[in-house]
Chain A
Amino acid sequence: MPRYELALILKAMQRPETAAALKRTLGALMDRGAVVRSLESLGERALPYRMAAHSQRHSRGGYFLVDFYAPTASVDSIMDHLSRDIDVIRPNIMKHPLTQEVKECEGIVPVPLEEKLYSTKKRK
């Protein structure tokens, strides 16, 4: 099963409610056949911009990072479930960055600016 990362932004709530929301979320993940590897909290922070979710505007949120293994077919259903949860401001599932290949950086490629000076389009 490929490894995914869920970048979760939860509503700014009290600790027990946040814990309940997390429990609910992780339970939903495990129900859909995911194996949760670890859960990290990035703290409750001010959001970079005001976000609207479920007819509410938020300016603070709790950032959480869940990396888990899941079957590819269930990612859609997980996203669907998370988008319906009212405590979740913004769910994002992506492939886990640690599974990507480390490509060597070639550096800055020099661009020939003289060619870009004049347009090469054929004019009638």
Chain B
Amino acid sequence: MLRALNHLGVRPPAPLLLPARGRKTRHDPPAKSKVGRVRTPPAVDPTEFYVLTERYRQYRQTVRALRLEFVSEVRRKIKEARTGVLAERKALEDATEHQNLMAWNQAENQRLHELRIERLRQEAREQEQRQEEEKARKAQETQAWVQLKERELLQLQEEAKNFITRENLDARIEEALDSPKSYNWAITREGQVVRPQRKGS
């Protein structure tokens, strides 16, 4: 209403005196000239007052109604989402889906378990086979080694007949002094032995 009056260009009646704290604080006693001063509240226009209160009451009633309406709608929606028919159906579907998935998982696990057992058995068999092969190979190797050593031993025994002993010491010495050997020779790529020519003593 006041805004309407402003639009028309009329100034509202200003009060004559406005209370303001100037020099004194609230704890200072009032002046002597203010003894017997009676504060009168501003005059109230009854019609204006009635109109104002009525309008405010209606406004607030409307707003409160709207607010309660909205609040109740929201709460209903929440309750619906939590414990409504759709929610129950969804929960049931979720449960069934979960059960299906668990069953499928169990089946998968079983299948993989069997595959794994099969694979482990296969590996064990292969391992055993490899070990046996290894053993056979080792046995063969040891046998070859033994045969080699036997052959070497026999060869050594043959050569031992030519060793120098105290009996044939003199004879061997004479024989060695009679036949001097020379290692000072080379061999060509064609296999021809080359010895040094006589260059003098």
Contact = CB atoms under 8 A, between A and B. Distances in A.
A27 B163 contact: no
Interface in B142-189: 159, 162-164, 166, 169-170, 172-174, 176-177, 179-183
A19 B162 contact: no
Chain A binding surface, main DSSP class: strand
Interface residues of B, number: 17
B181 A40 contact: yes
A45 B116 CA distance: 82
Interface string A59-74: 0000010000000000
Interface in A80-119: none
A40 B163 contact: no
Contacts of B181: 40-43
Contacts of B172: 38-39
Interface string A3-33: 0000000000001001100110011001000
Contacts of B162: 37-38
Given A39-B176, A43-B182, 19 more contacts: A15-B177, A18-B177, A19-B173, A22-B177, A23-B173, A26-B164, A26-B169, A26-B173, A27-B169, A36-B164, A37-B162, A37-B164, A38-B162, A38-B164, A39-B164, A39-B173, A40-B181, A42-B181, A43-B180
